[in-house]
């Protein structure tokens, strides 16, 4: 997860006044999560890269309408996810999410996190396959909520859906995963 | 958090994403171009002023801005214009749909000419003209707005405005300048398409219709 700079609101205020240096800092802070959000939605690296770039440009143009004090990350990710979603609808190769090679064959260079230790390589692969089988709208919610670590509220804002819909899609997705995975 | 949810979080830590290039070098030049926009617009004002040749407006421009294919000038005195049908200047009436409308909305007429597709529809009892202008064809159409027309920015697409109050003058050049009076108009830009809705509806109704159309 990307950490927020302490002076984010000041950076936003400056960017709203046309300060591109301030905006550059915001771009650097959020480019990782923006790209990954675009990727889990578009499932194509080139499309995700374009969606992130276009999202940052559009966010710059829309900064005047950004409400002071509102959380910046979901506001930005909503623009990026919309760009990615538009690209997903177009023709093109779509890739599935993949596990890191190191995760399949632990090298011993680094100790696994307590959470990672919960999963054997086989269970990871099975769970990922089950996630990939979910309907698109449930898969997006699961990917943003659990893989990218967004809160329920942020997922709702990012996908432009009500929080209640995030809850219901999450519940349905977990139910399906339990059925196919346990 | 249930065990399954914890496992999903752990799985997320083990996923591999493609390596993305630094975003800023691609984004930065595009922000710079936007900062140059006022200068580009200023050049266009001169060019369009000649092209449209509408003397009263040309001589007293108070404000000018550009949204997609449409330029808006606030002037002290509106150029002469009359109320004319929506279809004026839209090209021949067509039987086939030229724009995609959401379920529940039907058009009474469709129109198309290069760069523009339009439909006249009925919404909440009012006749509404819906038009899509493709590409950034600066000056495709021009609006002259008097001091008593209200202009307000709205949250729609990349940028949107709502014009209400006193009618404004819509002008376009198809070999010769044509004009007509226009009422309430919602104008917005999204993905290089300029959208326009005109009709006797409130701002709230027009925004609801716009969101239905571009959802």
> Model confidence over B70-126: pLDDT tens digits?
778 777 788 888 888 888 878 888 888 888 888 888 898 999 887 888 999 999 888
Residues in Cβ contact with A67 at an 8 Å cutoff, skipping those fewer than 6 apart: none
A147 interaction partners in chain B (CB closer than 8 Å): 8-9, 11-12, 15
Asked if the Cβ–Cβ distance from B12 to A147 is below 8 Å, we say yes
Q: Is A31 on the interface with B (CB under 8 A)?
A: yes
Residue A172 and residue A166 in contact, taking contact as beta carbons nearer than 8 Å: no
Tens digit of each residue's pLDDT (9 = 90 or more) over A137-167: 999 999 999 999 999 999 999 999 999 999 9
Backbone angles phi, psi at B151, to 5 degrees: -120, 130
Q: Report the C-alpha gap between B12 and A146 in whole angstroms.
A: 7
Q: What is the number of other CB atoms lying within 10 angstroms of the CB of residue A120?
A: 9
Distance from CA of A70 to the nearest CA of B (A): 16
A70 touches A27 (CB < 8 A): no
CB contact under 8 A, A115 and B13: yes
Subunit contact A60:B158, Cβ cutoff 8 A: no
ipTM of this predicted structure: 0.84
Q: Closest Cα of chain B to A38: distance in Å?
A: 11
Is A181 in Cβ contact with B18 (below 8 Å)? Answer: no
Put simply, the answer to whether B8 touches A127 (Cβ < 8 Å) is: yes
Measure Cα distances from A21 to A13, A26, B22, B31 in Å: 12, 9, 15, 11
Q: CB neighbours of A176 closer than 8 A, spacing ≥ 6?
A: A130, A134, A138
Which chain A residue has the Cα nearest residue B20?
Answer: A49
Q: How far is CA B193 from CA B135, B159, B169, in A?
A: 6, 11, 22
Using the beta-carbon criterion (under 8 Å), do B30 and A57 form an inter-chain contact? Answer: yes
Which has the higher per-residue pLDDT, B126 or B39?
B126
Name the helix (H) or strand (E) containing B2.
none
Question: In this structure, are residues B62 and B75 in contact, taking their beta carbons and an 8 Å threshold?
Answer: yes
pTM tops 0.90 = no
Picking from A7-21, A65-79, A99-113, B30-44, which range would have the lowest pLDDT averaged per residue? B30-44
């Amino acid at each position: 997860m990307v950490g927020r700079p302490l002076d984010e609101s000041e950076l936003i205020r400056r960017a709203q006044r046309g300060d591109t240096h301030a905006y550059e800092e915001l771009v650097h802070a959020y480019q990782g999560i923006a790209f990954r959000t675009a990727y889990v939605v578009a499932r194509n690296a080139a499309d995700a890269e374009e969606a992130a770039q276009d999202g940052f440009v559009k966010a710059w143009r829309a900064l005047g309408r950004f409400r002071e004090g509102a959380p910046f990350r979901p506001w930005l990710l909503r623009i990026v996810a919309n760009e990615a979603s538009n690209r997903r609808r177009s023709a093109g190769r779509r890739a599935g999410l993949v596990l890191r090679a190191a995760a399949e064959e632990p090298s011993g260079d680094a100790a696994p996190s307590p959470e990672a230790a919960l999963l054997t390589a086989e269970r990871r692969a099975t769970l990922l396959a089950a996630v990939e089988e979910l309907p698109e709208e449930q898969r997006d919610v699961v990917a943003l909520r659990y893989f990218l670590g967004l809160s329920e509220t942020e997922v709702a804002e990012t996908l432009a859906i009500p929080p209640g819909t995030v809850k219901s899609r999450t519940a349905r997705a977990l139910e399906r995963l339990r059925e196919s995975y346990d | 958090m249930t065990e399954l949810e914890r496992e999903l979080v752990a799985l997320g830590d083990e996923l591999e994403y493609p390596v993305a290039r630094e975003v800023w070098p691609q984004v930065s030049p595009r922000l710079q171009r936007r900062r140059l926009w006022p200068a580009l617009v200023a050049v266009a004002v001169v060019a369009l002023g000649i092209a449209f040749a509408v003397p009263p407006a040309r001589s007293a421009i108070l404000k000018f801005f550009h949204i997609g294919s449409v330029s808006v000038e606030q002037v002290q005195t509106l150029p002469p214009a009359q109320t004319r049908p929506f279809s004026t200047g839209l090209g021949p009436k067509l039987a086939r749909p030229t724009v995609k409308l959401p379920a529940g909305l039907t058009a009474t007429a469709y129109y198309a000419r290069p760069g523009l597709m339009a439909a006249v529809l009925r919404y909440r009892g009012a006749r509404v003209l819906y038009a899509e202008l493709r590409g950034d064809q600066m000056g495709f159409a021009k609006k002259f707005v008097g001091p008593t027309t209200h202009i307000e920015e709205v949250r729609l697409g990349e940028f949107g405005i709502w014009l209400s109050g006193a009618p404004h003058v819509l002008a376009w050049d198809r070999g010769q300048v044509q004009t007509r009076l226009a009422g309430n108009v919602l104008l917005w830009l999204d993905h290089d398409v300029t959208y326009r809705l005109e009709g006797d509806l409130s701002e709230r109704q027009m925004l609801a219709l716009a969101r239905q159309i571009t959802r």
